Amino acid sequence: MKAQVGCSFQNLLCEQLGVGEDYLTNRIQTIILDGKPVDDENTAIVHDGSTLALSIALGSIFGASFRKAGVVASFRSGGAASCISREEAFMKILGIVGSSRKEGVSGVHQLVTTVLENTAFDYELVTLRGKKIGGCIACLGCVKDNICKLNDDLTELRPLIAEADAYVIGAPNYYSALNALTHAFLERWYQFRHQEGDTLWGKLGVAVGVGGGIRYHSGRRY
């Protein structure tokens, strides 16, 4: 395929190769030109002999940091999360406390809030304590539209999960595994993996866990 070079990446792809601008904007999330990630397709110039790699959203920290003008793009130059101020960043983290114990005694609550407080980003904290969340029943009702058809306390959490940019999920260790409440909560994320899984694809997640003894306060066991 012949193409004119010395032009912008946008010109090459859209004007010369006929790729739709919408497709470039919405679907092509990562562009590597001559080994370097591209943030602005209008100013990146393609030269004779240039190599190009294009991708839809890549998962993990790699994908997030190499994405076009991504919020953590500064990770590339060796910068740390701390070089993005709260004001600059629009990343919002959803923190999940999967313990059923009260805030003041829950090790998971303490751990999740510590992690959240030490990021440079805004966050919202949700506790699963007292919530009625059943596990996935494999009805496959979510396959067509990525929306779970069970109606319980997860229903009101779905928009928070879908809109968050990253997650800190904490759970207590019960019998060397996740506790049932957090497990049920996560099983229901099955609803997000259909239709190319675009709802959560490429978002970042951190899982933290707490094990050990039950603490006693004022002689009462919580």
Ligand X SMILES: Cc1cc2nc3c(=O)[nH]c(=O)nc-3n(C[C@H](O)[C@H](O)[C@H](O)COP(=O)(O)O)c2cc1C
Closer of 101 and 203 to ligand X (Cβ): 101
* Amino acid of residue 6: G
Give the helix/strand (H/E) hosting 119.
none
| Residue of 108, 116, 128, 181 interacting with ligand X (CB under 6 A) | 108
Closer of 59 and 209 to ligand X (Cβ): 209
Q: Give the interface size with ligand X as a residue count (CB under 6 A).
A: 15
Give the helix/strand (H/E) hosting 124.
strand 122-127
Closer of 28 and 128 to ligand X (Cβ): 128
Residue 129 within binding range of ligand X, rule CB under 6 A: no
Start-to-end Cα distance in the chain: 69
Beta bridge partners of 205: 167
- 15's tokens: 């004007």
Which one of 8-16, 65-73, 120-128, 207-215 is the stretch in contact with ligand X (CB under 6 A)? Answer: 207-215
Residue 113: CA count within 13 A, CB half-sphere:
11
Residue 106 within binding range of ligand X, rule CB under 6 A: yes
Q: Give the burial class of 22: count Cβ atoms within 10 A of its Cβ; 0-12 exposed, 13-18 middle, 19 or more buried.
A: exposed
Cβ neighbors of 187 (< 8 A, separation 6 or more) are: 135, 136
Kind of pairing, strands 122-127 and 92-97?
Answer: parallel
Closer of 18 and 211 to ligand X (Cβ): 211
Query: For ligand X, what does the binding mask look like between residues 50 and 79, x meaning CB under 6 A?
Result: ------------------------------
Query: For ligand X, what does the binding mask look like between residues 165 and 184, x meaning CB under 6 A?
Result: -------xxxxx--------
Closer of 18 and 175 to ligand X (Cβ): 175
Q: Which residues are at the interface with ligand X (CB under 6 A)?
A: 99, 101, 106-109, 172-176, 210-212, 214
